Amino acid sequence: MSKSPNSGVKVYVGMSGGVDSSVTAALLKQQGYDVTGVYMKNWSQDLPGMVCPWKEDYQDAKRVAVQLDIPFKMYDFQAEYRQKVVDYMVAEYQAGRTPNPDVMCNQEVKFKLFLQACLEDGADMIATGHYSRVANGQLLTGIDTNKDQSYFLYRVTEDALQHTLMPIGEYEKPRVRELAAEFGLATAQKKDSQGICFVGKVGIKDFLLYELGPQTTGAIVDQNRVTIGQHDGAIFYTIGQRHGLDVGGGLPYYVVGKDMAKNEVYVTTQLDDTRLWHKDLRLSDLHWINKTPEAGKTYHVRTRYRAPLVGCKLTWEDCPPNAGMAEVVQVVLNEDIRAITPGQSAVVYDGDRCLGGGIVV
């Protein structure tokens, strides 16, 4: 029997206790890798009305590792996670922006802390259950366009990708479920997790209330500059939001902006309100995975997870793109996009390759 070309390659798989990472571990073992499962303990704090499911997730991951007959470890990143992800997220909301904690978790924890810890422990590679693909240090979209997670991974470095495997990016989600059943994994029927990445079923408003306490109420102001109601904290509202405004009458209202200094939230009933639609946007905190994109070339951009890709061109501000250190890039869109939201990520693609992106300002 011929020896697998992957034999002896040590891969540490981040196992969350879900079906995706379970199948990742099973596939890699099947392919001949020397697989070790690792549970990342990022958050274990119970919240009012919700017990943190980390113990159940840990046990599910361990159960799968036993089934696969692979070593199993736990890394505790709670202190770093609190600082790098949770504190960042809360501060962004306090500043009036709408951050994406999953992006920061991938950048700071999974593909920095976890990768470093695994390599120091003797791993050659890490693997995750993301629906994306890796090829020669480049990040590609997953085969399942509905589940593709490259949007959340755009801040990962080329070096990290050189040490990363994402095997389920080659599959559609239903097939991953089938594989879990075929492997006989304990997590085959487990439901996908919902809500904020670290607090399970608790919504973002409840979490912010828990972290910061009740907020100062203020005016909700319509397009005619008329106060039509009171909000319960400007931090809870995001651009484009329609539900949860509690202002009655006729047409629905949409959030188009907010002033944190004045503690006002601005809304409109006009779907064509110019504050709701944009033909361009500006990005800061830029990160390009491999190299800086070309100015003037047509790319595509995604302004939120699962939003449609829109054609665009990039123009640099503050310094030329070939300097590799541009502070701000302007993204000129081929069509108007609704509800561009400060703090969110906009991610740039060239075909199925994720180039990187930045934070909407």
Three-state SS annotation for 179-228: HHHHHCCCCCCCCCCCCCCCCCCCCHHHHHHHHHCCCCCEEEECCCCCEE
354 has catalytic annotation: no
Superfamily grouping for domain 10-183: HUPs (3.40.50.620)
Class assignment of domain 214-268? mainly beta
Residue 139 · residue 161 · CB < 8 Å: yes
Question: Choosing from 118, 197, 312, 354, which is the catalytic residue?
Answer: 197
pLDDT above 70 as % of the chain: 94
Nearest by Cα to 155 from 354, 360, 312: 354
In the block, which residue shows the tokens 């470095």? Answer: 157
The pLDDT profile of the chain, 361 residues, written as one tens digit per residue, is 456 788 899 999 999 999 999 999 999 999 999 999 999 999 998 888 788 889 999 999 999 999 999 999 999 999 999 999 999 999 999 999 999 999 999 999 999 999 999 999 999 999 999 999 999 999 999 999 999 999 999 999 999 999 999 999 999 999 999 999 999 999 999 988 765 655 656 788 889 999 999 999 999 999 999 999 999 999 999 999 988 788 876 789 999 999 999 999 999 999 899 999 999 999 999 999 999 999 989 999 999 999 999 999 999 865 555 555 558 999 999 999 999 999 999 999 999 999 999 999 9
Q: Choose which CATH entry (3.90.550.10, 2.40.30.10, 1.10.3720.10, 3.20.20.20) describes domain 277-360.
A: 2.40.30.10
DSSP 5: T
In the chain, ranges of CATH 2.40.30.10 domains? 277-360
105 has catalytic annotation: yes
Contacts of 313 (CB under 8 A, 6+ apart): 295, 296, 297, 298, 299, 331, 332
In the block, which residue shows the tokens 């939001």? Answer: 241
Nearest by Cα to 197 from 33, 8, 25, 18: 18
pTM of the model: 0.93
Contacts of 335 (CB under 8 A, 6+ apart): 279, 310, 311
**Could you give the C-alpha distances from 274 to 116, 268, 269, in angstroms and in order?**
46, 10, 12
Whole-number Å distance between alpha carbons of 37 and 127: 10
Q: What is the pLDDT of residue 251?
A: 85
Question: Choosing from 105, 118, 312, 354, which is the catalytic residue?
Answer: 105
In the chain, ranges of CATH 2.30.30.280 domains? 214-268
Beta bridge partners of 314: 331
In the chain, ranges of CATH 3.40.50.620 domains? 10-183
